[in-house]
Structure 1
Amino acid sequence: MSKWCRAAAGVLKATAETQSRRSYHTIQAVPRESSGHRISVRDRAQGRIPAVVFSQSYVQRDPNDPTSVVASSLVSRKLLLTTERKQIQAILKNIQLPFFCSTTFPLQIRAGSGSSTILETRKVLPIKIHRDEDGKVLNLVFVWAEDGTQLKVDVPIVYKGEDVCPGIKKGGRLRQVRSSLKYLCPAEHIPAKIEVDLSNLDIEDRVSMHDVPIHPSLKLLSKNENIPVCKIIATDIGEIEHA
């Protein structure tokens, strides 16, 4: 176990710096007074994407149970909006999924298409993207993400150091058990990603959820923090013979 602890202690790095998480993209939107299939079809035909943004803050009901997270009783401030497809596509090209849904964005709401009048600017977090069979974005769902707001976020895991990993060099392979971890996060401390450094892992070494260094304000939403995030496992002899 001591070998595993030494390996796990130095293999994880969370991108917790606030500046690295803040996006330089400002999403432009205009108010949409009504919803419905016909209106959405018309907006899409004109190069726009219907969107909605609302309040959704969470609380941990039982302090001893990290999974007892429920939506708080905040009054929901729901807004119907329309965004520009070209801008959303450009953002998604630069900040690809799943990182798009763990990144907060400034949202600038203007009085109308082409208007220079700014009604308000606030921070939002994308939580859902609806696409058609061809991958075309149909709708966007955001939540308000003002500082101090508690939000439930799936933070993507990124693995690095495979090229120098001792276990992999010996013929082992990486088994990715989790692709993301779910946290209850203050909006100002949402990490865009978590980096798992494999450069010190040997065969049979593993990294568990509780080994991930995070900002102290984040709460891991899992009853069992010993669940592995990844393992370096020995390559099966049969796999080597058929390689």
Structure 2
Amino acid sequence: MAQCLRGKAAAAAAAGVSAPWRRAASASYHHTIQAVPRETSGPRAAARERRHGRVPAVLLTLAGASPGNGVAHRKLLTAERKQLVEMVKQSPYFLSTPVRLQVRAGERSNAVVHSGTVLPIKVHRDESTGHILNLVMVQADEGTMLKVNLPVEFKGESACPGLKKGGFLQKIRTSLVYLCPAEHIPPKIEVDLANLDVGDRVLMHNIPVHPSLKLLSKNETMPVCKILASKPVESETMQDLKS
């Protein structure tokens, strides 16, 4: 059987056709998660998948286009660990970037049983090794409203008047939660510091975003960052706790 498979692979290579489980890295390779169905769950089944170089994954489908309807369906999948590692490495905003998902009937099958756009929402890693253990995705069809934790990125530090005077940038929030239509999810939220002087601050609701995004916060007037006159000194209490 092994000789037969090798023979088929060689024939495919001679014909210029790559076997589906040995596709060469390409642009689509970094934007389409390749997966196959997984029939069993649990620690033992998950450990078996990892031993074979795969990552157990779950695809969640919401009950409706509106938020708060809960999960309608959970689909068990398994993805290639090598590919996921590459995708996470290539995209610093992996958990806020919709990607394509292609589910084939089996590891050595070309038959596609499901395809669509998904949003990775959780990557579980081993605390000691950093290896990816599990992946959770949600179906991100156009029109679906998703709650997304978006990373905050600060830009314009070199032009910031307050920082040029020797001020200190106090970063208060590193992420913000928005309700976003799947088709308008931004990979990040940019905060421009170019016009900020000492004493200035940027509030949550002052950050320009697409009009379809809704900030989910109990207090939208909370600051995301401040330009302080100098770096704050740790309180004696904190120093006591560290000593």
TM-score bracket relative to the smaller structure: 0.7 to 0.9
Residue 136 (str. 1) matches residue 145 (str. 2): no
Counterpart pick for 2:100 among 95, 106, 109: 106
- How big is the shift at 1:41? 0.8
1:210–1:46: structure 2 CA closer, same or farther, 3 Å change rule?
same
C-alpha separation in 1, matches of 2:151 and 2:65: 22
Residue 121 (str. 1) matches residue 115 (str. 2): yes
Tell me the TM-score normalized by structure 1.
0.79
DSSP 3-state at the match of 2:73: coil
The 8 Å contact of residues 166 and 230 in structure 2, kept in 1 or not, is answered as yes
The 5 Å alignment of 1:45-84 reads: 45-56=51-62, 71-72=68-69, 76-84=72-80
The 8 Å contact of residues 30 and 90 in structure 2, kept in 1 or not, is answered as no
1:236–1:94: structure 2 CA closer, same or farther, 3 Å change rule?
closer
Counterpart pick for 1:155 among 150, 154, 157: 150
1:236–1:157: structure 2 CA closer, same or farther, 3 Å change rule?
closer
Name stretches of at least 5 consecutive residues in structure 1 with no aligned partner.
1-22, 61-69
C-alpha offsets along residues 201-234 of structure 1, whole Å, 9 cap, x if unaligned? 1001110011111111111101211101111111
* Number of aligned residues: 205
1:194 corresponding residue in structure 2: 189
1:24–1:135: structure 2 CA closer, same or farther, 3 Å change rule?
closer
Equivalent AA in structure 2 for residue 27 of structure 1 = I
The 8 Å contact of residues 148 and 177 in structure 2, kept in 1 or not, is answered as yes
C-alpha offsets along residues 39-84 of structure 1, whole Å, 9 cap, x if unaligned? 1111101100000011236888xxxxxxxxx6215x6121100000
The 5 Å alignment of 1:19-30 reads: 25-30=31-36
2:226 corresponding residue in structure 1: 231
1:165 corresponding residue in structure 2: 160
Equivalent AA in structure 1 for residue 109 of structure 2 = S
1:12 corresponding residue in structure 2: none
- How big is the shift at 1:200? 1.0
Higher Rg: 2
- How big is the shift at 1:127? 1.1
Equivalent AA in structure 2 for residue 72 of structure 1 = N
Q: Whose relative contact order is higher, 1 or 2, with alpha carbons under 8 Å and at least 6 apart? A: 1
C-alpha separation in 2, matches of 1:237 and 1:37: 47
C-alpha separation in 2, matches of 1:204 and 1:114: 61
Tell me the TM-score normalized by structure 2.
0.79
1:188–1:89: structure 2 CA closer, same or farther, 3 Å change rule?
same
1:151–1:135: structure 2 CA closer, same or farther, 3 Å change rule?
same
The 8 Å contact of residues 146 and 187 in structure 1, kept in 2 or not, is answered as yes
C-alpha offsets along residues 92-139 of structure 1, whole Å, 9 cap, x if unaligned? 11012xx11111111000011121111121111111111112111100
The 8 Å contact of residues 145 and 182 in structure 2, kept in 1 or not, is answered as yes
